[in-house]
């Protein structure tokens, strides 16, 4: 008989991606994105199972155990990748849930594929879960799974967590087959969001679309109670701190600073998936204007922008890449000198140690998404800065802004405000840096990923008081 699991995580991606090199040789690498960073430590510690896609089209490899986890790959054909992942998930739902900062596209075959793939994930989870087990479904790619799973396995405790923003009622109403999506989510016992406003939007929709009667943080549906509440996600603080305390990482940070311009040039840092929600273009525009106006110069500042490759088969992402690279070229061409440029642009993934070395080297961390569910990079930066130095420029439109209140907060839609934030952050003296950094470090330290998972899982287990998140209402 196949082994069954008390905790099953269901997410679009496995924590590792299958990588195929030029010679067709296959290997595994850490998957991109905040969801994996957040969940991997929890599943590892609980010896749970993880149902997800390998990141490559084709037949699913056999399930396997690694790093204390049981990984159960779900296969996606080329067509599934086109329609379910790149289409419905990333060209319809993703832009719409991020305030439609890019125009969402609606296609019937994408919706059909989304439903079929969601069913496959639900069936895989149903087959792996022990009697009365907990199944935790994640993110916008799998919003139909909770209801499908409940039909297959009514004995299970089903939780759902949305890592991205949940849109205002009027925007959600634009989605074709919107009621079905909502019913999909209502299959869960507990629906978690990053922000309280998102939970409110969701509950309002149940009244508007399904004529249900939400009351405070809950709603009755088919004789069950579904709770909707905010659980702001966090990071593995200890992992980041261990790296930040590692002498080799610290030496690498010093090397980076020397290489980028001695102690004299101040280092601005951006680390994002190359995604139009991250506001990279607006950031470059603001930086370019500051250089053009002579407020900063190539001799006293340098920007390192790490842009992780993401969703590169989706047209909007290809276009974004072209625009970003053109702008980097323009800025370097116009304001650079031989051997010294104002922007270092890295279109690549990185190891955790290299990333933390960059965090330690940076004077100003620039996290300016147009809209973001949380943004873990901001929290990682704060966790790394045990020296209480460095400043954080943070978008008001990132979920993290509610918790990291002493960051230099900016409206990234307003270039002047972005420029103001960058200049203020560059000008902050040591005392001001420490005054702002300390409360943020305390916040992140007291609310790490373990607490997030415990709060969610306790609330799901029926201990709502314990699951209460301070400041989450
Ligand atoms: P998202 O989930 O939208 O990608 P987050 O900021 O919440 O955004 O999470 C991104 C995660 O990916 C962080 O844990 C960050 O450390 C990691 N990451 C970002 N860029 C890179 C990179 N170039 N190489 C490796 N990891 C990265
Ligand atoms: O939370 C946002 C998210 O879509 C996660 O689901 C995912 O881990 C991450 O961004 C990276 O995106 P993708 O899996 O499409 O590369």
Please report, for the chain, how many H helices and E strands are present, in that order: 17, 17
User: Of residues 17, 163, 189, 448, which has the active-site annotation?
Assistant: 163
- Give the per-residue pLDDT at 141: 98
Same fold across 5-233+451-466 and 237-446: yes
For ligand 2, atom 12: residue with the closest CA = 33
- Give the per-residue pLDDT at 262: 63
Contact yes or no for 374/194 (Cβ under 8 A): yes
- What is the second-level CATH architecture of the domain 5-233+451-466? 3-Layer(aba) Sandwich (3.40)
Contact yes or no for 366/283 (Cβ under 8 A): yes
Token pair, residue 136, equals: 């935790």
- Give the per-residue pLDDT at 32: 66
Which among 71, 79, 80 is positioned nearest to 31, based on CA atoms?
Answer: 71
Contact yes or no for 127/63 (Cβ under 8 A): no
- Give the per-residue pLDDT at 470: 34
Q: Mind spelling out the 3-state secondary structure of 364-389?
A: EEEECCCCECCCHHHHHHHHHCCCCC
Q: How far is the C-alpha of 336 from the C-alpha of 303, rounded, in Å?
A: 12
Q: β-pairing, 69-73 with 49-53?
A: parallel
For ligand 1, whether the C-beta of 17 sits within 6 Å is no
Instruction: Report the atom number in ligand 1 closest to the C-alpha of 367.
Output: 6
Ligand 2 centre from 35 Cα, in Å?
A: 7
Instruction: Encode 366-394: b = buried (16+ Cβ within 10 Å), e = exposed.
Output: bbbbbbbbbbbbbbbbbbbbeeeebbbbb
For ligand 2, whether the C-beta of 33 sits within 6 Å is yes
Residue whose CB lies within 8 A of the most ligand 1 atoms, among 33, 352, 366, for a mutation test: 33
Instruction: Return the CATH number of 237-446, one of 3.30.460.80, 3.40.50.2000, 3.40.50.2300, 3.40.50.300.
Output: 3.40.50.2000
Which among 311, 283, 299, 462 is positioned nearest to 377, based on CA atoms?
Answer: 283
Q: Could you tell me the pTM of the whole model?
A: 0.94
- Give the per-residue pLDDT at 133: 97
Ligand 1 centre from 140 Cα, in Å?
A: 18
Contact yes or no for 450/42 (Cβ under 8 A): yes
Ligand 1 centre from 32 Cα, in Å?
A: 6
- On the CB side of 380, CA atoms within 13 Å amount to 28
10-residue stretch averages of pLDDT, the chain, 473 residues long: 90 88 81 75 90 94 90 97 98 97 96 98 98 97 98 98 97 97 98 97 98 98 97 94 98 95 87 98 98 97 96 94 98 96 96 96 98 97 98 98 98 98 98 98 95 94 55 35
For ligand 1, atom 23: residue with the closest CA = 349
Q: Which ligand sits nearest to residue 369's alpha carbon?
A: 1
- Give the per-residue pLDDT at 61: 92
Helices 145-152, 108-128: inter-axial angle, 10-degree rounding: 40
Which among 226, 51, 37, 57 is positioned nearest to 145, based on CA atoms?
Answer: 51
DSSP symbol at 62: P
Q: Catalytic residue at 372?
A: yes
- Give the per-residue pLDDT at 469: 39
Count other C-beta atoms under 10 Å from residue 400's C-beta: 28
The three-state secondary structure class of 105 is coil
- Tokens 């201990």 identify what position? 463
Q: Catalytic residue at 21?
A: no
For ligand 1, whether the C-beta of 355 sits within 6 Å is yes
Residue whose CB lies within 8 A of the most ligand 1 atoms, among 19, 32, 348, 356, for a mutation test: 32
For ligand 1, whether the C-beta of 181 sits within 6 Å is no
- Give the per-residue pLDDT at 321: 98
For ligand 2, whether the C-beta of 36 sits within 6 Å is yes
Q: What are the extents of the domains in the chain?
A: 5-233+451-466, 237-446
Which among 364, 355, 382, 342 is positioned nearest to 418, based on CA atoms?
Answer: 364
The contacts of residue 307 (CB under 8 Å, 6+ apart) are 270, 272, 273, 274, 280, 321, 324, 345, 346, 347
The three-state secondary structure class of 227 is strand
Ligand 1 centre from 355 Cα, in Å?
A: 10
The contacts of residue 373 (CB under 8 Å, 6+ apart) are 34, 162, 163, 164, 165, 194, 233, 399
Residue whose CB lies within 8 A of the most ligand 1 atoms, among 377, 381, 383, 400, for a mutation test: 377
The residues facing 183 across adjacent strands are: none
Ligand 1 centre from 377 Cα, in Å?
A: 6
């Amino acid at each position: 008989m196949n082994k069954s699991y008390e905790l099953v995580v269901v997410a679009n991606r496995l924590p590792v991606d299958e990588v195929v090199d030029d010679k067709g040789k296959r290997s595994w690498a850490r998957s991109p994105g905040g969801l994996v960073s957040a969940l991997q430590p929890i599943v590892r510690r609980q010896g749970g199972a993880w149902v997800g896609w390998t990141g490559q089209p084709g037949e699913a490899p056999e399930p396997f155990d690694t790093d204390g986890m049981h990984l159960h790959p779900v296969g996606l054909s080329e067509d599934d990748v086109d329609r379910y992942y790149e289409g419905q998930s990333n060209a319809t739902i993703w832009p719409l849930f991020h305030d439609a900062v890019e125009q969402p596209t609606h296609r019937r075959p994408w919706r059909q594929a989304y439903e079929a793939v969601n069913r496959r994930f639900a069936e895989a989870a149903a087959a792996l879960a022990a009697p009365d087990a907990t199944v935790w479904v994640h993110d916008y790619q799998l919003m139909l799974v909770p209801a499908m799973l409940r039909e297959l396995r009514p004995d299970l405790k089903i939780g759902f967590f949305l890592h991205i923003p949940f849109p205002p009622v009027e925007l959600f109403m634009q989605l074709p087959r919107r009621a079905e999506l909502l019913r999909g989510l209502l299959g869960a016992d507990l629906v978690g969001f990053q922000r309280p406003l998102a939970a409110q939007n969701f509950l309002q929709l149940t009244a508007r679309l399904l004529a249900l009667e939400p009351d405070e943080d809950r709603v009755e549906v088919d004789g069950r109670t579904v709770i909707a509440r905010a659980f702001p996600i966090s990071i593995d603080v200890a992992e980041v701190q261990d790296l930040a305390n590692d002498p080799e990482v610290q030496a690498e940070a010093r090397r980076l600073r020397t290489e980028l311009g001695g102690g004299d040039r101040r280092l601005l840092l951006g680390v994002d998936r190359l995604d139009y929600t991250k506001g990279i273009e607006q950031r470059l525009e603001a930086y370019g204007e500051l250089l053009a106006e002579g407020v900063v110069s190539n001799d006293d500042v340098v920007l390192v922008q790490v842009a992780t490759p993401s969703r590169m088969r989706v047209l909007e992402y290809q276009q974004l890449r072209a625009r970003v690279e053109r702008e980097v070229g323009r800025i370097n061409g116009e304001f650079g000198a031989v051997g010294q440029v104002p922007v270092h642009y890295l279109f690549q993934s990185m190891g955790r140690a290299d990333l933390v070395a960059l965090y330690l080297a940076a004077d100003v961390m620039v996290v300016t998404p147009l809209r973001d569910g949380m943004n873990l990079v901001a929290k990682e930066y704060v966790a790394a800065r045990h020296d209480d130095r460095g400043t954080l420029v943070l978008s008001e439109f990132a979920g993290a802004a509610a918790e990291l209140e002493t960051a230099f907060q900016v409206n990234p839609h307003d270039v002047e405000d972005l420029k103001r934030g960058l200049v203020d952050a560059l000008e902050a003296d040591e005392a001001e840096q420490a005054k702002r950094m300390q409360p943020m470090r305390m916040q992140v330290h007291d609310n790490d990923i373990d607490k997030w998972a415990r709060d969610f899982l306790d609330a799901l287990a029926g201990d709502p008081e314990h699951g209460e998140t301070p400041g989450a209402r």
